[in-house]
Amino acid sequence: MLVIPCPHCGPRGEIEFSYGGQAHIARPKDPEKVSDAEWADYVFLRDNTKGVFLERWCHVHGCRRWFNVARNTVTYEILAAYDAGAKPPKLDYETQV
C-alpha cells in the first residue's frame, strides 16, 4: 500500500485515495472538429509506462481534491505530487513507454 503525499493533507495511506489514470489528458476544446480516431484516443487510449508516470489521484476520503502524482511504475517510488492543472515539476528521470 502506497503512501501518497496529498498536496493539501500531507502523506496518507493509499486506501484514502481513488485512482484516476493518466494525467494531462485534456478534453479536446472543440470535440466536433476532431476525427473519430482522435476522439477514441482521447476517451480510451492511455500510455502503459514503464518508468515515471504522471497520474491522477483523488483524496476521496480526505479533502476530495484531485491532484497529480509522478510515480515510478517499476519501483513505485513517488517523486512528486502537484495540483491538478499545474505543470509537472522538472524531474530527472528516464521513461520508457
Binding footprint of another protein on the chain (CB under 8 A) = 1-3, 13, 20, 27-28, 30-32, 34, 36, 39, 42-44, 56, 58, 60, 64-66, 75-76, 84-85
Task: List Cα–Cα distances, 70 to 23, 36, 38, 73, in angstroms.
Answer: 9, 30, 25, 9
C-beta closer to another protein: residue 43 or 97: 43
**Cβ 78 to another protein, closest distance in Å?**
8
Q: How far apart are CA 85 and CA 95, in angstroms?
A: 21
C-beta closer to another protein: residue 28 or 89: 28
- Residue 78 is given by DSSP the state E
**Cβ 89 to another protein, closest distance in Å?**
18
Q: Please identify which residue in the block is written with the cell numbers 502503459.
A: 48
